[in-house]
Structure 1
Amino acid sequence: MIGADGAGKTSIFRILTTLLVPDSGTASVNGFDVVKDYKTIRKNVGYMPGKFSLYQDLTIEENLNFFATVFNTTVADNYDLIKDIYVQLEPFKNRRAGKLSGGMKQKLALCCALIHRPTVLFLDEPTTGVDVVSRKEFWEMLKGLKQQGITILVSTPYMDEASLCERIALIQNGSIMTIDTPDNIIKQFPDKLFAVKADNMSKLQNTLRSNPQIKSCFSFGDFHHITFQNDNENQQNELVKKLTRNQFSKHRNKTYHTNN
């Protein structure tokens, strides 16, 4: 699931994991209603929220044992599922979670979400704020979990990550706009999409949205995604000059794709 910040990705995940009661409508996970069958759903889904759900004052080993106890199981019973991930953490098993790097917290949070052997795994922006190497490692882990028959739903602001999924759901203002394969989603998009980043993202957003050449501007993770009113290279060059004039000392942009 991909959408701009505030589009509703986290709210949908909280509803599907029974942490938030919907105001209206219906939703189900594996055929179970999120309101009527919430107890069954909680036993069968794993959830890794955007902010690490770890106890900072507990060690790696203590966190893992705690989450296993919550689900009335043990680490030993499900170790085969998390082994490939946990071996990277085991040398530091007595270190408190609050002292771990972002990448290590990510791996521990994933282990905790898997420790009861869920059939469906929900990951809410799991790589936001994590370095590039850790992001790549994380997606390799997900490939391994998929091969073990776990259905994985990921929300992300990163277009390159979304393209690694089998299907993409585009969400805007709380509504699903379309669901399709990555290739078909790209073919349907009518404009060139640019990702722009600067040292002052708030100022950058205001500058872009006030520029008459900009058709749309939304925040996606570490970048603002923009499209132009007219597709020509002169507009793109003019934008770079304007950013420089507005004293954006660190700015860069890249094209995510071109629809031919």
Structure 2
Amino acid sequence: MNAIDTAIDVRGLNKYFGDKHVVKDLSLTVNRGEILGFLGPNGSGKTTAIRMLCGLLTPDSGEGHCLGYDITTQSDAIKREVGYMTQKFSYWEDLSIRENLDFVARVYELTNRKHIVDEALETLGLTSRSSQLARSLSGGWKQRLALAACMLRHPKLLLLDEPTAGVDPSARRDFWEELHQLAAQGVSVLISTHYMDEAERCHKLAYIAYGNLLAQGSAQSIIERQRLFTYEIMGDRLMDISKSLEKHSAIEQTVIFGSTLHVSGKNPQAIEEVLSAEYYKSIPTSLEDVFIYLMKQTHDNYGETRDTL
């Protein structure tokens, strides 16, 4: 695959803050028109990694390219062609939607600003609200404003850091429709999220836990590589059953989902022997089952890793 087809191609990225190793030997590839979901628990280094990719932080070691530019020596060029959306809404509450976009266009020194702003308003469905002050917008509409600001320069790559946190399900669904439309037009997207339904809408996933990249690939390939067998128990006393099952070596994890208990492990025969006293059925291992399993295999950067994956 040549550089034209690859938006991000980095190898062995490391970043320290003092004696804390925040990102460890990170290697990632994102292709043109691809949506990569970046997942992991809070404090795992996702934001630090995203900032290295867009030129806001310089890695302590490692190499690679973003949009064909060297991430260590050509950060200014990267910034001009990347749209970066932070976790926190960072626009001006006392300005209207249109005024916010016009101000950002001025900062970027874009020519024909009115046309560019009008186009962004139309694309993101903001035209009818263009005079509304940002402070009065709901989370979903603030999200659209932030994405519109990112798109003013028609970036080839979007780096989105938990953009849907705190946004209602309907607004999240609309946001993802926009992302897939952009991807169909050739825009590459790297998005960090904690929502499993969003993860399943990505073309590929990367799971990072406390600086370590533990899994990368399609959702199905990540599930298959863990080789977990999962069973569902329904009924009462699920917490008691869960605590009892955790004592058996054949049981890797137990997780309560509402009125059901998911029980997972590597050896289906051994699991079924343990479950013989319960009413159970075999179910496909879900992406959420796998990510809970991966997270349980790690400790934070101040602890030690229990298992090597």
> Which interval holds the TM-score relative to the shorter structure?
0.7 to 0.9
Equivalent residue number for residue 122 of structure 2? 83
Uncovered stretches (5+) of structure 1, i.e. residues with no partner: 195-207, 218-225, 238-254
**Percent identity of paired positions between Structure 1 and Structure 2:** 35
Distance in 2 (alpha carbons) for counterparts of 1:75 and 1:161: 34
RMSD of aligned Cα (Å): 3.3
Query: 1:1-260 counterparts in 2 under 5 A?
Result: 1-73=38-110, 74-77=113-116, 79-80=118-119, 83-85=122-124, 88-191=125-228
Q: Distance in 1 between matches of 2:158 and 2:54?
A: 10
C-alpha distance in structure 1 between counterparts of 2:226 and 2:262, whole Å: 11
Larger radius of gyration: 2
Distance change (3 Å), C-alpha of 1:258 and 1:49: closer
Aligned residues: 219
| 1:78 Cα deviation from its structure 2 partner | 6.6
Contact 1:5 1:157 in 2 (8 A): no
Shift of 1:169: 1.1
Distance in structure 2 (CA, Å) of the matches to 1:103 and 1:23: 36
TM-score between both structures, scaled by the size of structure 2 = 0.62
CA contact (8 A) 2:230 2:264 kept: no
Q: Secondary structure at the match of 2:57?
A: coil
Deviations 1:41-92 (A, max 9, x none): 011000111111211222111110111112221251475466231xx32222
For 2:147 and 2:218, how far apart are their aligned partners in 1?
A: 26
Q: Kindly tell me: are residues 36 and 102 of structure 1, through their superposed partners in 2, closer, same or farther at Cα, counting changes over 3 Å? A: same
Counterpart contact for 1:125–1:156, Cα < 8 Å: yes
Range with bigger deviation, 149-158 or 76-85: 76-85
Secondary structure of 1:26's match?
Answer: strand
Q: Distance in 1 between matches of 2:134 and 2:101?
A: 11
Aligned equivalents of 2:54, 2:43: Cα separation in 1: 19
Structure 2: where are the runs of 5+ without partners?
Answer: 1-37, 232-241, 255-260, 266-270, 279-285, 291-309
Higher strand fraction (1 or 2):
2
TM-score (norm 1): 0.72
Structure 1 runs (4+) deviating above 4 angstroms are: 78-82, 211-217, 226-234, 255-259
Gap change, CA 1:181 and 1:56, over 3 Å in 2: same
Letter in structure 2 aligned against 1:66: F
1:121-164 superposed Cα distances (whole Å, 9 cap, x missing partner): 11111111100000100000111111221111111112221111
